[in-house]
């Protein structure tokens, strides 16, 4: 019953979020600013995690596929497939749910408890749209770029360990070039776009309905990350089934 | 003029406002006073539209606000300025951006016109030296003054202030009080201030409404309040030893 009530409130909030903005120009500026804060600000984290995971996947594949019957380039191929299909969308999305989701929930939650949202409402501003919509648009545009960036950096991480002697670098590159299906990229980017919406809207919801004091902001932030992560996993399953 | 008639408001079955009827006059600083938890903040938030009354009507001049739909209410809200207890400035924006926000959202003015208006408002509250500062870099008094500048930037007809002096030293409190009063007179607006600061009451209280346990217990002027024959009001007004001594004299 509680979950249903929360879902109802989430839908109502989304109704407010997607109602007509007061002024497009203000929202446009806010979208650019959010892209910088939530998107560009996440590039270093994405790069660090992707390069290391790409490297680790390559090492693990090299150990697992060590057989005279399996060609070496399959290590590069397996690394590429893992990065494109799951890591660069799903795992990066979960990491971003931690970073961006908690940021959004705590920012909006703090605005709620310090009456900044009330101040916007009194001015006649649709506070839900003003605060949440630019974040949703910004992440839905930028996160797919992060996913694409993660794919490239992850494969580069694999190349680095190949160069260090894990395998022959040329075989690794052959593996990356072997059987390229652009649909896989499309599938991954679509997933990331959906995950971006989930992370931002769920975190915005928990922040917007924060009540009480700073303790509640912390709780809202944690709940936002947990619920976003669970929803990412559920939608990952659904989208994989739908788009396979 | 703002008028409320027979306002009731309850939360989770607990009645917070009980049959409140009062008229707040234009061009005057109207004060709502009362102990903590008496319901004065709920009354202010109900008047301003942040809470919906369970029963009763609220009039902004001749317009019944409680009968209006979302769009019509939005139009009235553009005539309302509010100063919150903590200032409620947007943390991620500078003082200049905070004051400019209502102009960005609700006017078609050019950037030069907006800049001129913001600078005028900041000068009016003596904050023209700090447009580039963020709320975290401001003192308590500066936050309140920035909030006043933001509240008056659209030339409101109604000004609401929720404990504008809370957390301020007595001298700064007087500065803020006088600023609110002079703005009220200068622009002939209806100002409602929520406070439990007796200095404010005696300094700027042109009309005072005392709320006690959710009821309107007393109303009058600052001249009436010292001689009021009302036990609860007297207990509130003369709570401090200094006030009692002053009354004795």
Whole-angstrom distance, CA of residue A183 vs CA of residue B165: 62
Q: Is the pLDDT of residue A70 over 90?
A: no
Q: How confident is the model at residue B248, as a pLDDT? A: 62
Mean pLDDT of A99-122: 94
Q: How confident is the model at residue B69, as a pLDDT? A: 86
Q: Which two tokens stand for residue A212?
A: 């009480």
Print the domain residue range for A45.
2-19+31-243
Closest residue to A114, CB basis, from B50, B80, B86: B86
| Partner A contacted by B111 (CB < 8 A) | no
CA distance B82 to chain A (A): 7
Beta strands in chain A (DSSP E): none
Q: Is the pLDDT of residue B249 over 60?
A: no
Whole-angstrom distance, CA of residue A22 vs CA of residue B213: 40
Percent of chain B clearing pLDDT 90 (strictly above): 53
Same domain, B75 and B108: no
Q: How confident is the model at residue A48, as a pLDDT? A: 96
Mean pLDDT of B3-18: 92
| Partner A contacted by B134 (CB < 8 A) | no
Which residues of chain A does B49 touch, with a Cβ-Cβ cutoff of 8 Å?
A: 122
CA distance A22 to chain B (A): 7
* A21-40 per-position pLDDT tens digit: 878 888 999 999 999 999 99
Mean pLDDT of B151-163: 92
Number of domains in chain B: 2
Which band of pLDDT confidence, cut at 50, 70 and 90, is reported for residue B245? low
Which residues of chain A does B106 touch, with a Cβ-Cβ cutoff of 8 Å?
A: 22, 123-124
| Partner A contacted by B86 (CB < 8 A) | yes
| Burial of A141 (C-beta count, 10 Å sphere; 0-12/13-18/19+) | middle
* A180-209 per-position pLDDT tens digit: 889 999 999 999 999 999 999 999 999 999
Same domain, B164 and B240: yes
Which residues of chain B does A125 touch, with a Cβ-Cβ cutoff of 8 Å?
A: 105
Same domain, B226 and B118: no
Do the domain assignments include residue A74? yes
Contact B50 A114 (CB under 8 A): no
Mean pLDDT of B24-38: 91
Same domain, B125 and B205: no
Same domain, B165 and B115: no
Which residues of chain A does B47 touch, with a Cβ-Cβ cutoff of 8 Å?
A: none
| β-bridge pairing B29-33 and B207-212 | parallel
**Residue at a domain's end among B155, B182, B212:** B155
| β-bridge pairing B158-162 and B80-83 | parallel
Q: What is the mean pLDDT of chain B?
A: 89
Q: How confident is the model at residue A22, as a pLDDT? A: 78
Whole-angstrom distance, CA of residue A238 vs CA of residue B36: 52
Q: Is the pLDDT of residue A58 over 70?
A: yes
Q: What is the CA A60 to chain-centroid distance, rounded? A: 25
Mean pLDDT of B100-125: 92
Q: Which two tokens stand for residue A7?
A: 């879902």
Which band of pLDDT confidence, cut at 50, 70 and 90, is reported for residue B209? very high
Contact B104 A110 (CB under 8 A): no
Residue of A nearest to B162 (CA): A115
Same domain, B175 and B62: yes
Which band of pLDDT confidence, cut at 50, 70 and 90, is reported for residue B70? confident
Closest residue to B104, CB basis, from A26, A111, A118: A26
| Partner B contacted by A122 (CB < 8 A) | yes
Which residues of chain B does A23 touch, with a Cβ-Cβ cutoff of 8 Å?
A: 104-105
CA distance A122 to chain B (A): 6
Same domain, B107 and B148: yes
Q: How far is CA B176 from CA A63, A85, A152, B37, B243, in A?
A: 72, 60, 58, 24, 22
Q: How confident is the model at residue A203, as a pLDDT? A: 97
Q: How confident is the model at residue A213, as a pLDDT? A: 86
Q: How confident is the model at residue B247, as a pLDDT? A: 63
| Partner B contacted by A22 (CB < 8 A) | yes
Q: What is the CA B124 to chain-centroid distance, rounded? A: 18
Mean pLDDT of A164-169: 88
**Residue at a domain's end among B103, B120, B155:** B155
Which band of pLDDT confidence, cut at 50, 70 and 90, is reported for residue B237? confident
Which residues of chain B does A124 touch, with a Cβ-Cβ cutoff of 8 Å?
A: 74-75, 77-78, 105-106
Q: How confident is the model at residue A210, as a pLDDT? A: 95
- What per-residue string of b and e applies to B94-117 under the rule 16 or more CB within 10 Å gives b? bbbbbbbbbbbbbeeeeeeebeeb
Whole-angstrom distance, CA of residue A151 vs CA of residue A161: 16
Hey, which of A161-170, A200-209, B28-37, B162-171 has the most confident mean pLDDT? A200-209
**Rg, Å, chain A Cα set:** 21
Helical residues (DSSP H) of chain B, grouped into ranges: 40-48, 70-77, 95-106, 111-124, 140-152, 170-187, 198-204, 222-225, 231-237, 241-248
Which band of pLDDT confidence, cut at 50, 70 and 90, is reported for residue A161? very high
Same domain, B165 and B241: yes
Structural element, H or E, at residue A179 = none
Q: How confident is the model at residue B240, as a pLDDT? A: 63
Whole-angstrom distance, CA of residue A236 vs CA of residue A230: 10
Closest residue to A22, CB basis, from B45, B91, B105: B105
Print the domain residue range for B115.
88-155
Closest residue to B88, CB basis, from A23, A116, A124: A116
Q: How confident is the model at residue B72, as a pLDDT? A: 85
Of B223, B153, B230, B151, the residue nearest B192 (C-alpha) = B151
Same domain, B166 and B242: yes
| Partner A contacted by B243 (CB < 8 A) | no
Whole-angstrom distance, CA of residue A156 vs CA of residue A172: 10
Closest residue to A115, CB basis, from B75, B78, B88: B88
Which residues of chain A does B77 touch, with a Cβ-Cβ cutoff of 8 Å?
A: 121-124
Do the domain assignments include residue A24? no
Do the domain assignments include residue A26? no
Task: Give the lowest-confidence range in A193-197, B19-23, B194-198.
Answer: B194-198
């Amino acid at each position: 019953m509680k979950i249903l009530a929360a879902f109802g409130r989430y839908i109502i909030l989304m109704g407010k979020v997607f109602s007509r903005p007061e002024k497009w120009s203000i929202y446009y500026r806010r979208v650019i600013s959010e892209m910088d804060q939530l998107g560009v600000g996440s590039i270093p984290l994405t790069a660090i995690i992707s390069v290391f995971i790409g490297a680790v996947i390559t090492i693990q594949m090299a150990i697992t596929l060590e057989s005279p019957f399996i060609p070496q380039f399959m290590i590069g191929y397996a690394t590429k497939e893992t990065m494109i299909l799951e890591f660069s969308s799903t795992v990066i999305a979960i990491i971003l749910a931690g970073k961006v989701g908690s940021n959004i929930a705590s920012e909006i939650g703090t605005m709620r408890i310090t009456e900044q949202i009330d101040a916007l409402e009194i001015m006649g501003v649709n506070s839900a749209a003003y605060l949440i919509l630019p974040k949703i648009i910004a992440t839905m545009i930028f996160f797919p770029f992060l996913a694409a960036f993660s794919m490239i950096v992850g494969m580069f991480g694999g190349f680095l360990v190949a160069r260090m002697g894990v395998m022959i670098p040329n075989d690794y590159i052959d593996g990356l070039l072997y059987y390229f299906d652009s649909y896989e990229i499309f599938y991954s980017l679509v997933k990331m776009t959906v995950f971006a919406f989930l992370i931002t809207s769920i975190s915005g919801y928990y922040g917007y309905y924060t009540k009480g004091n700073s303790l509640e902001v912390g709780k809202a932030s944690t709940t936002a990350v947990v619920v976003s992560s669970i929803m990412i996993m559920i939608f990952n399953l659904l989208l994989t089934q739908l788009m396979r | 003029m703002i008028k409320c008639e027979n306002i009731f408001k309850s939360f989770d079955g607990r009645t917070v406002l009980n049959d409140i009827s009062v008229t707040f006059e234009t061009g005057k600083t109207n004060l709502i006073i009362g102990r903590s938890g008496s319901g004065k903040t709920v009354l202010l938030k109900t008047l301003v539209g942040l809470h919906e009354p369970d029963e009763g009507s609220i009039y902004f001049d001749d317009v019944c606000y409680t009968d209006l739909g979302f769009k019509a209410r939005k139009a009235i809200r553009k005539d309302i300025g509010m100063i919150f207890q903590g200032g409620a400035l947007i943390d991620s924006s500078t003082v200049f951006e905070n004051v400019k926000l209502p102009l960005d959202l609700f006017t078609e003015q050019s950037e030069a016109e907006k800049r001129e208006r913001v600078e005028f408002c900041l000068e009016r509250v003596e904050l023209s030296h700090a447009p580039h500062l963020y709320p975290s870099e401001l003192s308590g008094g500066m936050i309140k003054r920035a909030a006043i500048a933001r509240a008056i930037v659209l030339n409101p007809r109604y000004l609401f202030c929720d404990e504008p002096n809370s957390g301020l030293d007595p001298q700064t409190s007087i500065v803020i009080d006088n600023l609110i009063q002079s703005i009220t007179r200068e622009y002939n607006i209806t100002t409602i201030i929520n406070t439990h600061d007796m200095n404010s009451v005696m300094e700027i209280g042109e009309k005072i409404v005392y709320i006690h346990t959710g009821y309107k217990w007393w109303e009058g002027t600052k001249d009436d309040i010292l001689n009021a024959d009302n036990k609860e009001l007297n207990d509130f007004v003369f709570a401090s030893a200094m006030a009692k001594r002053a009354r004795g004299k």
